Structure 1
Amino acid sequence: MKRTGEVILGIIGAFLYGILAFFGGLFLWLKNNPDLVQDMLNESPEDLGVSLNDMIATMGTGGVYLLVSSLIAIVLGIIAMFLLKGNKNPKIAGIIFIVTSVIFAVITVGAGIFAGILYLIAGIMCLVRKPKTLIEE
């Protein structure tokens, strides 16, 4: 049985987690460039009510958090897709997809919800789809 649907959903989910990892890296880059952040805040007409140091510290922490969690989710998704190759272990791959989707949708505080939904659908498909049995008479 081909598992093309599950693999495609896994690839799209991994791509969405990759976008989150990009934003995490961008936050880390901005943390290391406080002059750029200061220039952007000076051009902004409204006052955010947050000091520059607090904003930079939050961006750095959030960036590390998003980057690491997204990379772990991508690696787990790739492992699950390799388990699907050749229909070797679809049950284990489904469990990995489902656990990854739930944990990382919560860990990223909803930022990874769309990628998590795709992983969840792929995991459910892995567990539900059964190979066709031929009835011989």
Structure 2
Amino acid sequence: MKRTAEIVLSVIGAVLNGLAAILVFFGTAAMKSEGIKQMEARMKTDASIPEADFQTALHTIQALGWGIAVVLVIGTAVGIFAAVQLRNNKSPKLSGILLIIGAMLVFFFTVGFGVLPALLYLIAGIMSLVRKPPVIV
């Protein structure tokens, strides 16, 4: 049985996850750039925001960024693995379950960065679980 739709949705979701992971990775790495250090120096002179609060917020954003990047990379790997399993038509049930788990993982742990890939994974996972091979009599 051909599973072209599931494969295409899985691959598109994996590509979008990969792009989001790259964007989050570079965005988080840019938090240590010269521009951020200049902004930090300006914030130190501003009396309305305490320095400790600014440092805490900056470190929290960096840690959250790395966590989101890791979840997106894991989601990409799950999507690619499921697409390969679907391509070989070895275990569509396992692929469907993996895609649904990957969709939940990406949706809940990426704070909105992975909504579209999660939706694509969910659709592909449901399709691979619901579609039955034709019965040949």
TM-score w.r.t. structure 2 length?
A: 0.82
1:26 paired to 2:29: no
CA gap 1:50/1:126 in 2 versus in 1, 3 angstroms: farther
Cα displacement string for residues 15-40 of structure 1 (whole angstroms, at most 9, x for unaligned residues) = 1111220222122221221x212557
Q: Contact 2:71/2:105 (CA < 8 Å) preserved in 1?
A: no
Deviation at 1:11? 0.9
- Of 78, 103, 106, the match for 2:105: 103
Aligned positions, number: 129
Deviation at 1:55? 4.5
- The 3-state SS of whatever aligns with 1:87 is coil
Q: Contact 1:17/1:73 (CA < 8 Å) preserved in 2?
A: yes
Q: Contact 1:27/1:62 (CA < 8 Å) preserved in 2?
A: no
Q: Could you list the runs of 5+ residues in structure 2 that have no partner in the other structure?
A: 43-48
CA gap 1:55/1:132 in 2 versus in 1, 3 angstroms: same
1:56 paired to 2:58: yes
**4+ residue runs over 4 A deviation:** 38-42, 49-52
- CA separation in 1, counterparts of 2:136 and 2:105? 38
Q: Could you list the runs of 5+ residues in structure 1 that have no partner in the other structure?
A: 43-48
1:48-87 equivalences in 2 (<5 Å): 52-87=54-89
2:35 matched to which residue of 1?
36
Amino acid at match of 1:12: I
Amino acid at match of 2:94: I
2:10 matched to which residue of 1?
10
- CA separation in 2, counterparts of 1:107 and 1:76? 15
Give the fraction of aligned pairs with identical amino acids, expressed as a percent: 35
TM-score w.r.t. structure 1 length?
A: 0.82
Q: Contact 1:9/1:119 (CA < 8 Å) preserved in 2?
A: yes
2:118 matched to which residue of 1?
116
